[in-house]
Amino acid sequence: MNGVNMESSRRELAQALVHFPPIKHAFAYGSGVFGQKGALDMLRMVDYILVVDSPCEWHAHNLEQNQNHYSNLIRFIGPRGAVALAENVGAGVYFNSYVPWKNKLLKYGVIKKEALLEDLSCWSSLYVSGRMHKPVAHLIEDPAVMKANGMRTRHPPPESCASSLKLWLLEVPSHPYHVLGTK
């Protein structure tokens, strides 16, 4: 997406967010936002990550406003069930997908702000922070999220350095002469 079209596209992407309960931070990502050569526009789903303070409260309000976004299972088990699935089975994110909006399909994931900040600083799962390694369109900006994301990309905090070292240690060969280069 070029710079001229980016602002109008960002405004259009943000219009979908007015139909949701309050959101602290939101960004859109993927091929539905940043077109890829050869992909058909009508088949692209627009992907969002919505950052909220309390996913349980947010889902409770969203279930009232947008019940049709949720599967029958989540309608039955309720917002606590959605949050429990996200936190215990997933990476802290609950997704609703194939949501129709203005001749498009949306997919949105909801994550607790505290969990995203943890992922950005400590790379606890890299599930959402990994998506932020690629181009994203920030639609609602929370200063703490923007700062943590900026720190991750420009000046990694000490926790990120420790996480990087742990990852490196998992990937290096286990025999000492491989690490030290001796034989």
> Phi and psi at residue 102, in whole multiples of 5°?
45, 60
Give me the pLDDT at residue 163, please: 65
The domain ranges of the chain are 3-157
Stated pTM of the model: 0.79
Convert the pLDDT of each residue in 66-92 to its tens digit.
Answer: 999 999 999 999 999 999 999 998 899
Strand 136-140 and strand 104-112: the pairing is: unpaired
Give me the pLDDT at residue 175, please: 58
Give me the pLDDT at residue 179, please: 53
- More confident of the two residues 2 and 99: 99
What is the rounded average pLDDT of the residues 31-37? 80
The answer to whether the beta carbons of residues 99 and 105 sit under 8 Å apart is yes
Indicate the CATH number of 3-157 among 3.40.50.1370, 3.30.460.10, 2.60.40.10, 3.40.1010.10: 3.30.460.10
Give me the pLDDT at residue 70, please: 98
Percent above pLDDT 90 for the chain: 58
Convert the pLDDT of each residue in 121-173 to its tens digit.
Answer: 888 888 999 999 889 999 999 999 999 988 544 445 555 566 666 766 676 66
What is the rounded average pLDDT of the residues 2-23? 82
Give me the pLDDT at residue 150, please: 85
Ramachandran class of 92: left when φ > 0, alpha when ψ lies in -120 to 50, beta otherwise: left
Give the whole-angstrom CA distance, residue 118 versus residue 62. 25
